[in-house]
Amino acid sequence: MPTDYLAGVPLSDKPLAADELLVTADKARVEKLQTYHFEGNVVLQQAQGTILTDHAVFDQLTNKVNAEGTVRYQTGSHVLTGSKAEVQVDSEKANISDAEFWLVENHLRGQAQSITVLSDDVLHLDKVSFTSCDKENESWVLKASSLHLDFAENEGRARHARLEFMSVPFLYLPYMSLPIEGRKTGFLAPNFGTSNASGTEISIPYYFNIAPNQDATLTPRYYSKRGMQYVGEYRYLHRRHKGELDAEYLPDDKEYGEEDRTYVELNHDSNPGHGWRTKLHYAYASDGDYLADFWNNLSASSLTHLERNLDIDYQAPEWRAKAKIQNFQTLDETIAAVDRPYQRVPQLQLVTNPYILDNGIETNASAELVMFDRSEGVTGTRFDVAPEFAWPYRAAAGFIDPAVKWRYTQYQLENLDALYPAQVTRSVPQVSLDSGLFFERDAGSGQGGLIQTLEPRLYYLYVPYREQDNIPVFDTTLPLFSYSELFRDNRFSGIDRIGDANQVSVSLSTRFLNDSGNELLLASLGQIYYFQDREVVLPGDAPRTRSQSVMAGLLRSQWSRHVEASASMEWDQIENQVDKGSLKFRYQFGPGKITHLAYRYEKNAIDQVDFSVLWPLRQQWKAYARYYYSFLDTIALETVGGIEYESCCWAMRVVYRDFISDLATDTRNDSIWFQLELKGLASVGRKVRSAFETGLLPGTL
């Protein structure tokens, strides 16, 4: 945007009529009482805009102004300059010769042989060239025989358009439609890429600006190895609901036995008000290899199931309810039918908010009814209710929280085998006592305002044994032990098993807080001591007989805004080995200088490291790299490298990605994507920016 030519120019504060002209100049003379000549620092102000020039002539008979010399014409949305101009005072029309222009809204500038102002919203330019670059560095230029700009319709129409990049002709279009600002129906810039799975890829998206709150994109995408794919996206946004529908279709895939391949995904969120909220998610893939072949990332290729669900939630002041329907599409056909997840058709939940009685007792309850279905194996209905009573005491120095819960569960089973009866009931009381103390001291050491706390905690849990081998497992697992398991009232993740317990959890935590109360560092260490064996197990497991759990530790730190770190470890002091551990470390050296390191270990299962770095190489250049490696499999799971150049008016990004799509067969997929973004005009290769930015999100482990 050039310097505001009107800065310091005396202008009238009074709104002018459409045919009114206000003139100031160093000199003025009149001929025949109808022709007015103005010389030196001429300012002509009208309702549509303001003209600054060296010399101007106003013909009162025709109501027309002719200006010569250095002419500047400025309105709210554009700035025009030229060697001469002709302006019709009683209309919005004007013509500027040998013109330069600046479009304020999208920061474009250029030159034209002539510019015709048809109205404040419409310009017509002949023999035009324009760019968003500075004059000293015109990296890209679009030239056209004519350009018609309609600001009201947000549309620009160019004839015989020629795009030059670095003075090299890049693209020719006999007709080109482009948005002046924001969204507009029309072709988007094409995408280019290549991968070993699909070959060269070329796609040309077409964008539909349906309404201010709706749009769609239709993209024909050609793969040299597979054929033509058709991709569609529809988005909508309303005051109380929003959603997106995505569909992909590739007929006769030459790399997949000439089969038709499809993917569909629907997401809808609704907030009707009065406490109601709904959420719908549906996904379908024509085959188990679809995501690995077309989505080009490790997480997608690792999926074994696609989830579909409908959630309906209601929130009242004293309670909340949920209705859920859930099923899955199994992508990995090698998974046996009896091992596939159950469908919930439906699941109903009711939970009351805590309510404190006059005597200080806190009450709450939960209830659930869910029907589990599957093509093979036991199916049935589960009803569960769990009222709870607590009598908490909390003070600045500590807390004591005794609680009693009673859980009643009933099963109505079908498709039975010899292990399970048609009806099962289970009633289990749970008693717990949670307690803790808080100590603190000044740990400033001259820094001021630094507080260290010491927080011992004891949690006792008693749950009597109940026979549960005659209950099928619908949605219950035994999570890996971690620090958070110390204070749970059930060691299982679901309610098909309620673990028997007579145990006490002991932990010690320390925190460092600044003078604002923000946590700078947290370190915790804890362990469970068992007073009896744990006999309730999942099918195929043996009773747990250890008298103490492994030792669980947790460390979290954000000592400054530049450093974030967290670590956890489960240490088996009997076997003298680490069962599980993780580490995450992120350091920002300065603006745009970020490193991230993550490590995860599970005994005999996982031993992985993930390192990524984003770093400026020099002015306007930066690079990104990620390396994700499995020590257990001695293989790189994913490697990503990218480089970016960005100036004031254009940017270029190249990203290379290599990942393992099938660990069992050591099948790999690599791809390279290119993007050229011409700011103010379009970008070539829209996929690359999302791939580059996605890689910058650490914490994939």
CATH number of the domain bearing residue 81: 2.60.450.10
Q: By C-alpha distance, which of 340, 279, 278, 337 is closest to 304? A: 340
Where would I find the beta strands (DSSP E) of 317-438? 319-330, 343-352, 355-356, 362-373, 379-390, 393-395, 398-414, 423-437
**Which pLDDT does position 687 carry in this prediction?**
52
If one counts every other C-beta atom within 10 angstroms of the C-beta of residue 442, the result is: 10
Q: Are 641 and 672 in contact (CB under 8 A)?
A: no
What is the C-alpha separation between 387 and 17, in angstroms, rounded?
A: 76
**Which pLDDT does position 566 carry in this prediction?**
96
Residues 6+ apart with CB under 8 A from 484: none
Element (H, E) at 51: strand 50-59
Q: Are 480 and 580 in contact (CB under 8 A)?
A: yes
Q: Are 285 and 329 in contact (CB under 8 A)?
A: yes
The last residue of one of the domains, among 128, 158, 177, is: 177
**Which pLDDT does position 546 carry in this prediction?**
96
**Which pLDDT does position 591 carry in this prediction?**
86
What is the C-alpha separation between 430 and 502, in angstroms, rounded?
A: 10
**Which pLDDT does position 182 carry in this prediction?**
67
Residues 6+ apart with CB under 8 A from 638: 297, 298, 626, 628, 657, 658, 659, 660
Residue 33, domain member (yes or no) = yes
- Write out the residue range of the structural domain in which residue 68 sits: 22-177
Distances 632 to 302, 580, 629 between C-alpha atoms, Å:
17, 14, 9
The residue type at 685: G
Residue 611, domain member (yes or no) = yes
The residue type at 13: D
Q: Looking only at Cα atoms, what is the longest distance across the chain? A: 116
Q: Are 265 and 283 in contact (CB under 8 A)?
A: yes
Residue 256, domain member (yes or no) = no
Residue 97, domain member (yes or no) = yes
Distances 399 to 362, 433, 505, 529 between C-alpha atoms, Å:
15, 10, 16, 21
**Which pLDDT does position 408 carry in this prediction?**
98
Helix, strand, or coil (residue 626): strand
Return the structure tokens found at 594. 């970020």
**Which pLDDT does position 119 carry in this prediction?**
82
Residues 6+ apart with CB under 8 A from 664: none
**Which pLDDT does position 618 carry in this prediction?**
84
Q: By C-alpha distance, which of 597, 598, 372, 592 is closest to 494? A: 372
Which residues of the chain fall short of a pLDDT of 70?
1-16, 18, 76-77, 105-106, 182, 189, 445-448, 681-701
What is the C-alpha separation between 96 and 123, in angstroms, rounded?
A: 11
Helix, strand, or coil (residue 43): strand
The residue type at 41: N
What is the C-alpha separation between 493 and 495, in angstroms, rounded?
A: 7
The last residue of one of the domains, among 177, 204, 219, is: 177
Which residue shows structure tokens 């499999």? Answer: 633
The last residue of one of the domains, among 153, 177, 201, is: 177
Q: By C-alpha distance, which of 484, 464, 483, 458 is closest to 402? A: 458
What is the C-alpha separation between 672 and 655, in angstroms, rounded?
A: 6
Q: By C-alpha distance, which of 365, 378, 366, 288 is closest to 329? A: 288
The whole-angstrom distance between residue 267's C-alpha and the CA centroid of its chain comes to 14
- Total of domains in the chain: 2
Torsion angles phi and psi, residue 651, rounded to 5: -145, 150
Q: By C-alpha distance, which of 54, 86, 51, 94 is closest to 70? A: 54
**Which pLDDT does position 14 carry in this prediction?**
61
Give the pLDDT confidence of 326-374 residue by residue, as tens digits: 999 999 989 999 999 999 999 999 999 999 999 999 999 999 999 999 9
DSSP 4: -
Residue 58, domain member (yes or no) = yes
Residue 552, domain member (yes or no) = no
Residue 560, domain member (yes or no) = no
Q: By C-alpha distance, which of 683, 30, 657, 677 is closest to 299? A: 657
Helix, strand, or coil (residue 182): coil
> What's the whole-model pTM score?
0.82
Residue 680, domain member (yes or no) = yes
Burial class (CB in 10 A: 0-12, 13-18, 19+), 597: middle
**Which pLDDT does position 134 carry in this prediction?**
84
